[in-house]
Amino acid sequence: MTASPVAGRAAIRLARVLLLAALLLAWEMLPRLGVVAPDLLPPFTEVARTLVTLLTRATFLRDIATTALEILASFLIAVPLGAVIGLLIAESPYFARVFDPLLFFLFSIPKSIFLPMFILTLGIGFWQKVGFGCFSTTLLVLLSTQAAVRSVRPDHLLVARSYGATPAQIVLRVYLPSMLPIILEALRLALIFTFTAVTLAEMYASSAGVGHEIETWGENFMMPQLLAGVLLMSCAAILLNEAVRWVEQRCGAWRT
């Protein structure tokens, strides 16, 4: 007898919960049993208590707000900018042949090597984090948009143009429905790229933000606070990723 889809999804969720519980249990017991030095890996309950304490401090809440604003600003600038540039390049075979090698070169190298340039030009304030986040994310969105445009069937474009569709109508009625699956996947990856880039920029040189606090705790060997910050950032990244995945699933009708 074949299991129903609902039962299959429930089994997967249960397996995920059990896996998470096993990891947390191992995290709790290994330092308490002396397998791992508690100074290097404090028990999970101690880290959780530290995180709760941090979340009651106004200074740490301001750091969270700073990081969230930097991520949001970077994402909202990079996504439309990369989408528009990618669409314009993909629409022109000439521009595609000219810019593609440079774009693939920039995308293939680690973005962190450009971070000192952003610090020298923009300082260590808010716009340096936003600028570096935009730079890291725009390339991904740009290349994903190019791939999405090239996935559109030429006969759909031909029919639309034959019926006198304007460029705006072609974008909204032909490109967007065909590109949506790739674009939604790109948005999820772009959010991860932005999150990582902003956190890295805060850890490299900053005076505020969660990344700055994590760097400070690491330098001072404050392991409960360090792991609490890592736990917070990990949970935030997972929640953001799942939120975009939920939107992607809700728009799954476009895939068919």
- Best mean pLDDT range from 72-81, 100-109, 116-125, 183-192: 72-81
Q: What is the pLDDT of residue 1?
A: 47
Residue with more model confidence, 244 or 33: 33
List pLDDT tens digits, range 144-162: 888 877 777 777 777 777 7
Task: Give the whole-angstrom CA distance, residue 176 versus residue 107.
Answer: 24
Give the length of the chain: 256
Distance, in Å, from the CA atom of 220 to the CA atom of 198, rounded to the nearest integer, reads 22
Asked if the model's pLDDT at residue 252 lies above 70, the reply is no
How far is CA 191 from each of CA 25, 74, 75, rounded to the nearest angstrom? 30, 9, 7
Instruction: Give pLDDT tens digits for 33-92.
Output: 888 888 888 999 999 999 999 999 999 999 999 999 999 999 999 988 988 888 888 877
Residue type at position 68: A
**How does pLDDT run across 214-242, given as a tens digit for each residue?**
989 988 888 999 999 999 998 888 888 88
Residue ranges in the chain assigned as alpha helix (H): 5-32, 44-54, 58-91, 93-108, 115-122, 126-150, 154-162, 167-170, 176-204, 210-219, 223-250
Terminal CA-to-CA distance of the chain, rounded, Å?
29
The more confidently predicted of residues 212 and 245 is 212
The tally of CA atoms less than 13 A away on the side-chain side of residue 54 is 23
Q: What pLDDT is attached to residue 6?
A: 66
Instruction: Tell me the pTM.
Output: 0.81
Percent of the chain with pLDDT over 70: 95
Comparing 159 with 2, the larger pLDDT belongs to 159
Residue 31 scores a pLDDT above 80: yes
Q: What architecture is domain 42-255?
A: Orthogonal Bundle (1.10)
Rounded Cα distance between 186 and 81, Å, is 14
- Would you state the structure tokens that stand for residue 154, as one six-digit string? 């030429």
Residues 214 and 229: beta-carbon distance below 8 Å: yes
| Res. 119 pLDDT band, cuts 50 70 90 | confident
Q: How is the chain split into domains, by residue range?
A: 1-41, 42-255
231 versus 207: the higher-pLDDT residue is 231
